[in-house]
Amino acid sequence: MNELAAKVITTLRDRTLTLAVAESVTGGLIGATLTTVPGASMVYLGGVVSYATRLKTDLLGVTRETIANHTVVSEEVAIGMAVGLQRRTDADWVVAVTGVAGPDPQEGHDAGEVWICVLGPRIPSLPQFQQVERFDFSGDRDEIREQTVDAACRMLLRVVSPV
C-alpha cells in the first residue's frame, strides 16, 4: 500500500471530506492507488480517466478552444479537467493530472512534463482553493506515472493537512 495514498485517505476521512480524480497521463493509476487503502470508499468518490482528448471535452467540459490554444498538456487543461469534474461530482476536493508519460514527445511537450491541479474545497462557507504545478519527471513510462501519483498526493496533503 502506498503510504502517501493512505495518508490522503486518512486525512480526508478525519475531516469528512470527499475526493474525485480526473486522470489523463496516469490512466487511472491514482484511483487504483487510492483504492488499495482500506476505507477509501468513505472518501474517494471515483474518477474520470480521460486519456483521449475527446473525453476531456465530452466528459469533463474542457473547451476545444482551451485545448487548441494550449494543448492537452497544459496548466489550462489541468484546471479545466478539475473544474469540470468537481461540477459533475460535487467532490470537496479534486485532483486533475495531464502530461506525457513517453517515451516520445507529444504536441511539443517532452516525456515527463506533467501538470497537476488541486481544487477545493467545495464548501460554501470557504473560499475555493486552486493550485497548479508543472513537473518535469524523468524515467520510463511507469516511473513517470508513479511520480505523478506521488506528486498529486503530496500536493493534496499540503493543502488539506498543512504542517
Q: In this structure, what C-alpha cell is assigned to residue 19? A: 475526493
Q: In this structure, what C-alpha cell is assigned to residue 4? A: 502517501
Structural domains in the chain, sorted by start = 3-160 (3.90.950.20)
Which distant-in-sequence residues (6+ apart) come within 8 Å of 142 by Cβ? none
- Tell me the C-alpha distance between 149 and 40, whole Å: 16
The DSSP 8-state label assigned to residue 32 in this structure reads H
The confidence band for 1, taking pLDDT boundaries of 50, 70 and 90, is confident
Give the position of cell 516525456. Answer: 111
Please write the tens of the pLDDT for every residue from 9-61.
Answer: 999 999 999 999 999 999 999 999 999 999 999 999 999 999 999 999 999 99
One-letter amino acid at 108 equals G
pTM listed for this prediction? 0.96
Q: In this structure, what C-alpha cell is assigned to residue 12? A: 480526508
Please write the tens of the pLDDT for every residue from 48-107.
Answer: 999 999 999 999 999 999 999 999 999 999 999 999 999 999 999 999 999 999 999 999
- Tell me the C-alpha distance between 151 and 9, whole Å: 15
Ramachandran quadrant class, 97 (left: phi over 0; alpha: psi -120 to 50; beta: rest): beta
